[in-house]
């Protein structure tokens, strides 16, 4: 009986490094690693040792035979990844039993350098993967800073409360908060002069601003950025408990990423089902009295181009109350014509219905996926009353009392650092901030808002590697106070 990786996979590949027979793919060295929805176990090669399940930080790995309910599909999903692959011909999926190779000491050899003092700004995944790398592989002293009083960043305030397994990775990160070489400063802005007091600074502050849609009415009251809704149900200190009014029967969410599905799922959930989660109590109370019966998820493009991941869609479909609007024949054609395992084919089991927007939503609660439908304006005088969309039927007005803009995020300029307004990132080369020696970036503020939690591991590792190269080659500026002496890195 093989093991299988399931819905909550964070793709940080901790499991890959412990598998004795190299049967978990894609690995960080293989194509597709940065964009895969989840990692997959080859059932023909797995020897059932259970090492991956023990190492998984989000409890996503189980013996395939033990899977129940909607998770049963993951036995096939894991196997499907390997179907048709000739593992003997394709060395990337062949077991290698970790053959010994000549010893490697990485880019930095142990030397007589004194410990580096590194400040890391941001306690989300990118910051914590950088901290982990610095503490485990060097003798650096780390000052970890977050402007919020509670650590965790996107894990604490971004992951939906009904995804406790995903949030569990926060416990893995929190182990480092008590490390003897780490000083934790919460509830404190990074402030000026940080670079003067440290050998290097890594900013891992994420990308928190909603990407603008550029349509009339976008700033009407009742039009909310996704970050407000996500912060509201997660109790973010910057978001007022009454920030989200749920007195409308229909809410439109613009965008098809996992954040859009999270918002649609939470707004249509049975409140009792959320009571045992980490949802903010004020948000739960509002959901109990909410009038919302329908959330419309609006996509500019077809189902083959949706941004959500397969695990999120499968979970939503298994819950029920999900419908695809059959307004455009291209939608059915894409779903039926897609090859098995293709993105549009994921919707084959989801009911389709031509939605009549002139009538109120039906009783109960449901989510409508509407593809090939771009918002061209938000209607309303004093607040949002409708979303006007453009599609195959021409312009269609969808009455809606609230609109959530979930079409992506962008970074916000960091005081004192250069900023690329177009890309919404701090310009950098492998994490080294352009024109600012000793200053680095990791995560979304470095590469833009793409990839899940695990993608930040390789990203942060690259940044730390760049920092260490600079330290060894003398490119770190001497601190104003203290020494400019060579520093002991001890990285092997």
Residue closer to ligand SF4, measured from CB, 52 or 71? 52
Stretch that binds ligand SF4, among 40-48, 285-293, 454-462, 475-483 (CB under 6 A): 40-48
As measured in angstroms, the least distance from the Cβ of 43 to ligand SF4 is 9
Residue closer to ligand SF4, measured from CB, 21 or 246? 21
Does the footprint of ligand SF4 cover residue 49 (CB under 6 A)? yes
As measured in angstroms, the least distance from the Cβ of 27 to ligand SF4 is 12
The number of residues that bind ligand SF4 (CB under 6 A) is 14
- Secondary structure of residue 146 in the 3-state scheme: strand
Does the footprint of ligand SF4 cover residue 274 (CB under 6 A)? no
As measured in angstroms, the least distance from the Cβ of 309 to ligand SF4 is 21
As measured in angstroms, the least distance from the Cβ of 207 to ligand SF4 is 33
Stretch that binds ligand SF4, among 45-53, 178-186, 208-216, 247-255 (CB under 6 A): 45-53
Taking residues 101 to 120 in sequence order and writing x for each that binds ligand SF4 by CB under 6 A, - otherwise, the string is: --------------------
Q: Is the peptide bond before 209 cis (omega within 30 degrees of 0)?
A: no
Residue closer to ligand SF4, measured from CB, 20 or 281? 20
CA 328 to chain centre: 31
Show the CA angle centred on residue 30, arms to residues 132 and 457, nearest 5°: 15
Contact 75, 433 (CB under 8 A): no
The structure tokens listed for 397 are 């007005």
Show the CA angle centred on residue 265, arms to residues 321 and 212, nearest 5°: 125
Instruction: Name beta bridge partners: 143.
Output: 119, 183
Give phi and psi for 156, each to the nearest 5. Answer: -75, -45
Instruction: Name beta bridge partners: 5.
Output: 61
CA distances from 392 to 81, 371, 372 (A): 35, 10, 8
Figure out which of the listed residues 13, 39, 41, 267 binds ligand SF4, where binding follows CB under 6 A.
41
Residue closer to ligand SF4, measured from CB, 64 or 267? 64
Residue closer to ligand SF4, measured from CB, 2 or 154? 2
Stretch that binds ligand SF4, among 47-55, 73-81, 261-269, 335-343 (CB under 6 A): 47-55
Does the footprint of ligand SF4 cover residue 56 (CB under 6 A)? no
Does the footprint of ligand SF4 cover residue 50 (CB under 6 A)? yes
Rounding to the nearest 10 degrees, give the CA dihedral for residues 64, 70, 74, 76: 90
Does the footprint of ligand SF4 cover residue 52 (CB under 6 A)? yes
As measured in angstroms, the least distance from the Cβ of 75 to ligand SF4 is 13
**Which residues, 16 to 35, sit near ligand SF4 by CB under 6 A?**
18-19, 21, 23-24
Quickly list DSSP for 379-400.
E-SSS--EEEEEETTEEEEEE-
Q: Is 222 left (phi over 0), alpha (psi -120 to 50) or beta?
A: left
Q: Indicate the pairing of strand 428-429 with strand 432-433.
A: antiparallel
CB atoms under 10 Å from CB of 357, counted, come to 20
Does the footprint of ligand SF4 cover residue 51 (CB under 6 A)? yes
As measured in angstroms, the least distance from the Cβ of 96 to ligand SF4 is 12
Does the footprint of ligand SF4 cover residue 188 (CB under 6 A)? no
Does the footprint of ligand SF4 cover residue 164 (CB under 6 A)? no
Q: Which residues of 184-221 are buried (b: 16+ CB within 10 A; e: fewer)?
A: bbeeeebeeebbeebbbbbbbbbbbbbbebebebbebe
The structure tokens listed for 38 are 């989840």
Residue closer to ligand SF4, measured from CB, 48 or 353? 48
Figure out which of the listed residues 44, 48, 196, 270 binds ligand SF4, where binding follows CB under 6 A.
48
Residue closer to ligand SF4, measured from CB, 6 or 463? 6
CA distances from 50 to 3, 69, 266 (A): 7, 21, 33
Quickly list DSSP for 318-344.
HHS-EEEE---HHHHHHHHHSPTT-TG
Taking residues 227 to 266 in sequence order and writing x for each that binds ligand SF4 by CB under 6 A, - otherwise, the string is: ----------------------------------------
Does the footprint of ligand SF4 cover residue 46 (CB under 6 A)? yes
Stretch that binds ligand SF4, among 49-57, 177-185, 397-405, 483-491 (CB under 6 A): 49-57
Return residues touching ligand SF4 (CB under 6 A): 3, 18-19, 21, 23-24, 41, 46-52
């Amino acid at each position: 009986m093989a093991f299988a990786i399931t819905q909550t996979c964070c793709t940080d590949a901790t499991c890959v490094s412990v598998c004795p027979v190299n049967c978990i793919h894609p690995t960080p060295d293989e194509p597709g690693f940065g964009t895969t929805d989840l990692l997959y176990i080859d059932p023909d090669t797995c020897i059932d040792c259970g090492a991956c399940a023990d190492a998984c930080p989000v409890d996503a790995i189980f013996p395939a035979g033990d899977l129940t309910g909607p998770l049963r599909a993951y036995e096939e999903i894991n196997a499907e990844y390997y179907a048709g692959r000739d593992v003997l011909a394709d060395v990337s999926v062949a077991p290698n039993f970790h053959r010994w190779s000549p010893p490697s000491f990485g880019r930095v050899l142990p030397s007589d350098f004194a410990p580096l003092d590194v400040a890391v700004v941001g306690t989300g995944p990118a910051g914590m993967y950088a901290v982990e790398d610095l503490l485990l592989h060097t003798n650096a002293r780390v000052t970890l800073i977050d402007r919020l009083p509670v650590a965790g960043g996107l894990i604490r305030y971004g992951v939906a409360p009904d995804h406790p397994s995903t949030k569990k990775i926060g416990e893995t990160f929190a182990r480092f908060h008590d490390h003897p070489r780490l000083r934790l400063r919460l509830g404190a802005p990074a402030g000026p002069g940080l670079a003067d007091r440290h050998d290097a600074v890594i900013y891992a502050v994420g990308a928190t601003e909603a990407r603008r849609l550029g349509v009339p009415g976008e700033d009407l009251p009742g039009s909310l950025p996704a970050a407000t809704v996500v912060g509201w149900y997660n109790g973010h200190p910057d978001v007022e408990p009454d920030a989200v009014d749920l007195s409308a029967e229909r809410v439109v969410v613009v965008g098809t990423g996992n954040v859009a599905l999270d918002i649609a799922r939470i707004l249509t959930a049975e409140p009792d089902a959320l009571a045992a989660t980490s949802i903010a109590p004020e948000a739960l109370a509002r959901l109990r009295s909410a009038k919302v019966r329908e959330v419309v998820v609006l996509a500019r493009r077809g189902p083959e181009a949706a941004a959500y991941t397969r695990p999120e869609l499968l979970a939503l479909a298994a819950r029920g109350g999900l419908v695809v609007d059959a307004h455009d024949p291209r939608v059915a054609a894409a779903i039926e014509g897609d090859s098995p395992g293709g993105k549009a084919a994921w919707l084959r089991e989801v009911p389709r219905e031509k939605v009549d927007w002139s009538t109120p939503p039906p009783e109960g609660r449901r989510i409508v996926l509407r593809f090939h439908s771009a918002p061209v304006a938000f209607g309303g005088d004093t607040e949002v009353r409708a979303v006007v969309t453009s599609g195959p039927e021409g312009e269609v007005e969808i009455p809606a009392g609230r609109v959530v803009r979930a079409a992506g995020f962008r970074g916000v300029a960091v005081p004192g650092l250069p900023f690329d307004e177009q890309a919404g990132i701090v310009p950098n080369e492998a994490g080294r901030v352009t024109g600012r020696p000793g200053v680095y970036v990791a995560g979304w503020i470095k590469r833009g808002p793409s990839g899940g939690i695990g993608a930040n591991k390789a990203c942060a590792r690259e940044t730390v590697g760049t920092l260490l190269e600079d330290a060894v080659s003398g490119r770190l500026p001497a601190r104003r106070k203290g020494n400019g002496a060579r520093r002991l890195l001890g990285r092997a």
